[in-house]
Amino acid sequence: MAEFDYDLFVIGAGSGGVRASRIAASHGARVAVAEEFRVGGTCVIRGCVPKKLLVYASQFAEELHDTAKLGWTFGEKTFDWAALRDFVASDVDRLERAYTSTLANNKVEHFAARATVTGPNSVALSDGRTITAKYILIAVGAWPVMPAFPGNEHAITSNEVFHLPTLPRRVVVQGAGYIALEFAGIFNALGCEVTVVNRSDKILRGYEEAMTERLLKITAERGIQYRLGHPITGIEKHADGSMTVSLSGADPIEADCVLVATGRKPKTDGLGLETAGITLGANGEVPVDAYNATACPSIYAVGDVTDRVQLTPVAIREGHAFADTVFGGAPRTIAYDHIPSAVFSQPPLAGVGLTEAQARAEGREIKVFTSDFRPMKNMFFARAERGFYKLIVDAASDKVIGVHMIGPDSPEILQAVAIAVKAGLTKADFDATVALHPSMAEELVLMR
């Protein structure tokens, strides 16, 4: 008889956990995974996928305003929030079925229960069962942080925003990270009155400042109001469902919905890792080494729960590398440099590599190239919004060490550019590339 029930027991069936389970099973391991909510994790169920669908839908509202310039005439135009909400929910259901099928097709046993660690090689399920495994992988992800202030029970997070019964007329968004600004853009485009409040006076900390300044200006012109430096101090809900939102150092705001998006925290509360001798980090994260190993030799962790880089593609790569290392006989790590990122704001921005500020902080001698232009697509719109691209070049090697952009389709363009930056191509390589005309992307090879 086998010493353990399974070779691998995964806690959490998000992107990282599902990938690790599938690859470990392909290496011949006996694998089981426990998920207390829905298979697919944050990205599929309550994150980037349903959010991107809302972005697409809200962008269509903008294009409808200028259909006459495109030669189209329509009758009365109306918007049905419930129809959009329910379609998004149905696509989430479809994706969950696909992820569940992936587990089944790879002979991974799925437990629809909460699992907690009870020792180096054992877990307890919420249905009363105890299971043993040679290895345990923690892949439970992260959870939205709700600041403590009176009335915070009346606010929602990004978890609940996809299930609003009606489209609110007035929305207050607390936070200035990518989640906050993406939802602010969605609600604004759908015709809501949107106010963004934040503790600091900056938005999108860590992104290229030239892009964030441009985004702040454009979104303000689109009607989003900002109360930067004035966080929420309390919410009072009235009998009619409306709310008065009190701010630090500013006048109160009337709202119908308050969305708090002030960051995410590893979801490790009550997970029981202390029973295996694992001490959590300051933010509740599971400390791991380059091979995703914890202080307990039989327990590993991948994804947002490690609080390294909270991005779905990173979790997937970590899960794959873990399975190859432990079960595939091919130990390997992943690189965390040159990870492309995007903010699906309206307009979107994207970047890869070092920002100008980061490069200068490292003491590098750099050259900076920019292109400030009006995208052809924007000629149809009443707002004369301009795109902006920026290249950061290492002066000594001529390598392009950072690319940042804001404007239509920036994330789609950035993915290909990230390959060039990852490969270490030079500014001369960019210059030697023939432009694809007419396109926005051609600006990347025309900067002199």
**Residue 27 belongs to domain with CATH number:** 3.50.50.60
Residues 54 and 165 in one domain: no
- Domain range for 161: 152-262
Q: How many other CB atoms are found less than 10 A from the CB of residue 77? A: 9
Q: Is residue 342 part of a domain?
A: no
Amino acid identity of residue 286, one-letter, is: V
Alpha carbon of residue 124 to chain centroid: 31
Amino acid identity of residue 440, one-letter, is: M
Residues 269 and 258 in one domain: no
Q: Is residue 116 part of a domain?
A: yes
Catalytic residue from among 27, 230, 238, 437? 437
Q: Is residue 439 part of a domain?
A: yes
What pairs with residue 234 in β-bridges? 246
Which residue stretches of the chain have pLDDT < 70?
1-2
Per-residue confidence (pLDDT) for residue 1, from 0 to 100? 46
- Strand 31-34, strand 142-144: pairing: unpaired
Residue that has been written with the tokens 């353990």 in this structure: 4
Residues 88 and 175 in one domain: no
Residues 76 and 157 in one domain: no
Residues 195 and 80 in one domain: no
This prediction has a pTM of: 0.94
Structure tokens at 237: 């809900």
Residues 129 and 170 in one domain: no
Per-residue confidence (pLDDT) for residue 309, from 0 to 100? 93
Q: Is residue 412 part of a domain?
A: yes
Q: Is residue 296 part of a domain?
A: yes
Q: Could you say which of 241, 262, 283 is where a domain stops?
A: 262
Amino acid identity of residue 351, one-letter, is: G
Q: Could you say which of 216, 239, 262 is where a domain stops?
A: 262
Residues 156 and 75 in one domain: no
Q: Is residue 46 part of a domain?
A: yes
Residues 289 and 272 in one domain: yes
Query: Side-chain half-sphere of 406: how many Cα atoms within 13 Å?
Result: 21
Per-residue confidence (pLDDT) for residue 346, from 0 to 100? 95
At 239-259, the pLDDT tens digits run 999 999 999 999 999 999 999
Per-residue confidence (pLDDT) for residue 73, from 0 to 100? 85
At 200-219, the pLDDT tens digits run 999 999 999 999 999 999 99
Alpha carbon of residue 287 to chain centroid: 21
- Nearest CA among 359, 365, 361, 362 for reference residue 404: 359
Structure tokens at 270: 């009550």
Q: What CATH code is carried by the domain that includes residue 418? A: 3.30.390.30
Asked about 110 being catalytic, the answer comes back as no
At 6-37, the pLDDT tens digits run 999 999 999 999 999 999 999 999 999 999 99
Q: How many other CB atoms are found less than 10 A from the CB of residue 237? A: 15
Phi, psi of 203 (to 5 degrees): -115, 150
Query: Side-chain half-sphere of 279: how many Cα atoms within 13 Å?
Result: 1
Classify the C-alpha dihedral 299-304-307-309 as positive or negative. Answer: positive
Phi, psi of 263 (to 5 degrees): 120, 170
Residues 174 and 278 in one domain: no
Per-residue confidence (pLDDT) for residue 324, from 0 to 100? 98
Per-residue confidence (pLDDT) for residue 75, from 0 to 100? 82
Q: Is residue 339 part of a domain?
A: no
Per-residue confidence (pLDDT) for residue 28, from 0 to 100? 96
DSSP string over 330-374: -------SS--EEE--SS-EEEEE--HHHHHHTT--EEEEEEEE-
Report the domain count for the chain: 3
DSSP string over 225-242: EEEET--EEEEEE-TTS-
Residues 126 and 167 in one domain: no
Residues 374 and 425 in one domain: yes
Q: Is residue 332 part of a domain?
A: no
Residues 137 and 40 in one domain: yes
Per-residue confidence (pLDDT) for residue 379, from 0 to 100? 80
